[in-house]
Amino acid sequence: MTSLAHPASTIGRVFEHRFLQYRRTFRSSIFSSFLSPVLFLTAMGLGLGAYVSDSSAVGGVSYLVFLAPGLLAATAMQTGSSEASFPIMGGLVWNKIFHAMYATPISPRDIALGNLAWIAARLTLIATTFTIVIVLFGAAESPLIVLAIPAAILTGMAFAGPMAAFAATQKTPNRFASIFRFGITPLFLFSGTFFPISSLPAALQAFAWLTPLFHGVALTRGLSLGTITDDPFAAAIHVIYLTTLATVGAWLTIRNFQRRLVRG
Amino acid sequence: MPETPPTSLIHARGLTKRFGGFVAVDAIDFDVARGESFGFLGPNGAGKTSTMRMIGCVSPISDGTLRVMGMNPATHGPQIRANLGVVPQQDTLDLELTVRENLAIYGRYFGLSRAEVGRRADELLEFAQLTERANDQVEPLSGGMKRRLTIARSLINEPTVLLLDEPTTGLDPQARHLLWDRLYRLKQRGVTLVLTTHYMDEAEQLCDRLVVMDKARIVAEGSPRELIERYSTREVTELRFAPGIAETLDGQLEGIAERVEHLPDRILLYAEDGEAAAVEVHQRGLKPETVLVRRSSLEDVFLRLTGRSLID
Q: Annotate B250-273 with three-state secondary structure.
A: CCCCCCCCCEEEECCCCEEEEECC
CATH number at residue B182: 3.40.50.300
Minimum mean pLDDT range among A227-236, B35-44, B250-259: B250-259
pLDDT at A117: 98
pLDDT at A264: 47
Q: What is the CA radius of gyration of chain B?
A: 22
Q: What is the pLDDT of residues B11-52, one digit of tens each?
A: 999 999 999 999 999 999 999 999 999 999 988 889 999 999
Residue A166, Cβ density class (10 Å: 0-12 exposed, 13-18 middle, ≥19 buried): buried
- pLDDT at B312 > cutoff 60: no
pLDDT at A58: 86
User: What sign does the dihedral A237-A241-A244-A246 (CA atoms) show?
Assistant: negative
| Mean pLDDT score, A168-178 | 96
Q: Are residues B51 and B93 in the same domain?
A: yes
Q: How far apart are the first and last CA of chain B?
A: 44
Q: How confident is the prediction for chain B on average, in pLDDT?
A: 92
pLDDT at A3: 54
Q: What is the pLDDT of residues B287-304, one digit of tens each?
A: 999 999 999 988 899 888
Q: Which residues of A96-133 are buried (b: 16+ CB within 10 A; e: fewer)?
A: bbbbbbbbbbbbbbbbbbbbbebbbbbbbbbbebbbeb
Question: Is B59:B48 a contact under the CB 8 Å cutoff?
Answer: no
On the CB side of B192, how many CA atoms lie within 13 Å of its CA?
17
Q: Are residues B157 and B250 in the same domain?
A: no
| Mean pLDDT score, B172-189 | 91
Residue B188 belongs to a domain: yes
pLDDT at B248: 83
* A106/B105 Cβ within 8 A: no
Distance, in Å, from the CA atom of B38 to the CA atom of B208, rounded to the nearest integer, reads: 6
Residue B65: strand, helix, or coil: strand
**Helix or strand holding residue B235 (H, E):** strand B235-240
Residue B1 belongs to a domain: no
- pLDDT at B1 > cutoff 50: no
Which residue has better confidence, B106 or B170? B106
Contact list, B79 vs chain A (CB under 8 Å): 1, 4, 105
Q: Best residue in B94, B120, B151, B160 to probe A by mutation, most A CBs within 10 Å?
A: B94
- pLDDT at A1 > cutoff 70: no
Give B71's strand partners.
B68
| Mean pLDDT score, A65-84 | 97
Q: What is the largest CA-CA distance in chain A?
A: 72
Does B84 lie at the interface with A, CB-CB under 8 angstroms? Answer: yes
Does B136 lie at the interface with A, CB-CB under 8 angstroms? Answer: no
| Mean pLDDT score, B120-138 | 96
Q: Are residues B14 and B123 in the same domain?
A: yes
pLDDT at B265: 86
DSSP, res B291: E
CATH number at residue B260: 3.30.70.980
Does A9 lie at the interface with B, CB-CB under 8 angstroms? Answer: yes
Distance, in Å, from the CA atom of B99 to the CA atom of B299, rounded to the nearest integer, reads: 36
Give B161's strand partners.
B84, B192
pLDDT band at B310 (very low <50, low <70, confident <90, very high): low
Q: Best residue in B53, B55, B108, B161 to probe A by mutation, most A CBs within 10 Å?
A: B108
Minimum mean pLDDT range among A87-101, B13-27, B234-248: B234-248
Residue B3 belongs to a domain: no
Q: What is the ipTM of this complex?
A: 0.91
pLDDT at B2: 46
| Mean pLDDT score, B180-196 | 93
Does A21 lie at the interface with B, CB-CB under 8 angstroms? Answer: yes
* A105/B109 Cβ within 8 A: yes
Q: Are residues B200 and B261 in the same domain?
A: no
pLDDT band at B132 (very low <50, low <70, confident <90, very high): very high
- pLDDT at A224 > cutoff 90: yes
Give the closest-approach CA distance of B106 to chain A in angstroms.
8
Count of structural domains within chain B: 2
Q: Which residue in chain A has the smallest CA separation from B20?
A: A263
pLDDT band at A5 (very low <50, low <70, confident <90, very high): low
User: What sign does the dihedral A38-A42-A45-A48 (CA atoms) show?
Assistant: negative
pLDDT at A220: 98
Residue B114 belongs to a domain: yes
- pLDDT at A135 > cutoff 90: yes
Angle between helices B99-109 and B114-127 (to 10 degrees): 130
- pLDDT at A215 > cutoff 60: yes
Where is the domain boundary, B223, B248, B273? B223
Quick one: which of B53, B158, B32 has its CA closest to A2?
B158
- pLDDT at A205 > cutoff 70: yes
Cα dihedral B195→A17→A92→B72 (10° resolution) = 50
Minimum mean pLDDT range among A56-65, B47-56, B217-226: A56-65
Question: What is the share, in percent, of chain A residues with pLDDT greater than 70?
Answer: 97
Q: Are residues B213 and B237 in the same domain?
A: no
- pLDDT at A134 > cutoff 90: yes
Residue B304 belongs to a domain: no
| Mean pLDDT score, B144-169 | 95
Question: Is A214:A191 a contact under the CB 8 Å cutoff?
Answer: yes
* B111/A2 Cβ within 8 A: yes
Would you kindly state where each structural domain of chain A is located, as residue ranges? Answer: 28-49+56-261
pLDDT band at A128 (very low <50, low <70, confident <90, very high): very high
- pLDDT at B307 > cutoff 70: yes
pLDDT at B198: 84
Of B77, B92, B160, the CB nearest to A100: B92
Residue B27 belongs to a domain: yes
Instruction: Sheet with B8-19: list strands edge to edge.
Output: B22-33, B8-19, B63-68
Minimum mean pLDDT range among A5-14, A93-102, B40-49: A5-14
Q: Are residues B142 and B38 in the same domain?
A: yes
pLDDT at B6: 58
Give the closest-approach CA distance of B81 to chain A in angstroms.
5
Q: Which residue in chain B has the smallest CA separation from A10?
A: B109
Give the closest-approach CA distance of B112 to chain A in angstroms.
9
pLDDT at B44: 85
Q: Are residues B237 and B210 in the same domain?
A: no
| Mean pLDDT score, B164-169 | 93
Q: Are residues B77 and B200 in the same domain?
A: yes
Minimum mean pLDDT range among B30-34, B99-103, B249-253: B249-253
- pLDDT at B3 > cutoff 80: no
* A16/B92 Cβ within 8 A: no
**Contacts of residue B83, Cβ cutoff 8 Å, sequence gap at least 6:** A1, A2, B69, B157, B159, B160, B161
Residue B99 belongs to a domain: yes
Which residue has better confidence, A29 or A57? A29
Question: What is the share, in percent, of chain B residues with pLDDT greater than 70?
Answer: 96
Which residue segment(s) compose the domain that B64 sits in?
A: 8-223
Where is the domain boundary, B199, B223, B247? B223
- pLDDT at A209 > cutoff 50: yes
- pLDDT at B309 > cutoff 80: no
Does A4 lie at the interface with B, CB-CB under 8 angstroms? Answer: yes
Angle between helices A108-136 and A26-40 (to 10 degrees): 50
* B82/A105 Cβ within 8 A: yes
* B109/A106 Cβ within 8 A: yes
**Helix or strand holding residue B164 (H, E):** strand B161-165
Nearest 5°: the CA angle B135, B139, B142 is: 95
Of B59, B111, B160, the CB nearest to A9: B111
CA A176 to chain centre: 16
| Mean pLDDT score, B304-309 | 80
Does B113 lie at the interface with A, CB-CB under 8 angstroms? Answer: no
Residue B291 belongs to a domain: yes
Q: Are residues B99 and B211 in the same domain?
A: yes
| Mean pLDDT score, B48-72 | 97
